[in-house]
Copies of this chain bind each other. A is one copy, B any other.
Amino acid sequence: MSSTSEILDIVLRSSLGKIISRDRIEKVVPFLRLKHWEAGTIIFSEQDPAEGFYVVSKGIVKLLRYRADGREIVVHFAEPTQSFAEAAIFLGRFPVTAVTDTDCELVYLPKSAVMEHLASDPEFSKFLMQLMATWLERLVEQLDTVVQNDASSRVIRFLLNEETPESKKSETRSVQLHFRKADMAQMLNMNQATLSRTLRKLQEEGLIKVKGRSFQLCDPKRLEAMLLPPLE
């Protein structure tokens, strides 16, 4: 299962594979580990010492913070080909907790391999910084979304952000959710009941159609316009 060639394949297909040469990847592959994780397992916890980072091969990993009151603050859902916790190896600790949301397969890249590679390949360090910069951008975006003060705006914004580039080109624009609506509510910092009601309202207004976990954006222009200030 966890053969060298399989790991190679995963890394090549991940975002890392797009920047690092095949040669270099082949060299580090022997130091990487592929592992299966059952749904609901804690991969690491906030403040744990960090000795490496991960690439998702299969499944969804939920990155979050646990509140003292048991509530969860979801930072991100990591999907296949994405890596996560890159920054942690530079902080020395994980700033969030990672839990498998479904059964998963993850490649683990130990810090030592990364650091060595960093010294020998300036391109790699640029790439890592780009990755981290993307995380920063994502977090700023999320902060912005979550702070939006009415529920509809947050939902609309989420949907527009979540839309894939393919969908944007196609005729029937849609968003496919890879996790529960309850999770979505968490990400948007609202009550599950409020999300439900908000979605109903948006449907009644003919802006979207909801069917389980798929959302059709019936009127993208009007959706975008709703994020702008009301005309007065």
B68 adjacent to A147 (CB under 8 Å): no
Query: Please, what's the 1-or-0 string for A118-152, where 1 marks a CB less than 8 Å from any CB in chain B?
Result: 11001001101110111111011111101111000
Residue among B95, B132, B189 making CB contact with A87, cutoff 8 Å: B132
Residue among B70, B136, B146 making CB contact with A136, cutoff 8 Å: B136
Residues of A within 8 A of B (CB-CB), count: 42
The residues in A between 107 and 126 inclusive whose CB is less than 8 angstroms from any CB of B are 115, 118-119, 122, 125-126
| Cα-based distance from A96 to B148 in the complex (angstroms) | 16
Residue among B68, B122, B147 making CB contact with A146, cutoff 8 Å: B147
B75 adjacent to A133 (CB under 8 Å): no
Residue among B129, B140, B143, B147 making CB contact with A90, cutoff 8 Å: B129
| Cα-based distance from A189 to B144 in the complex (angstroms) | 10
A87 adjacent to B143 (CB under 8 Å): no
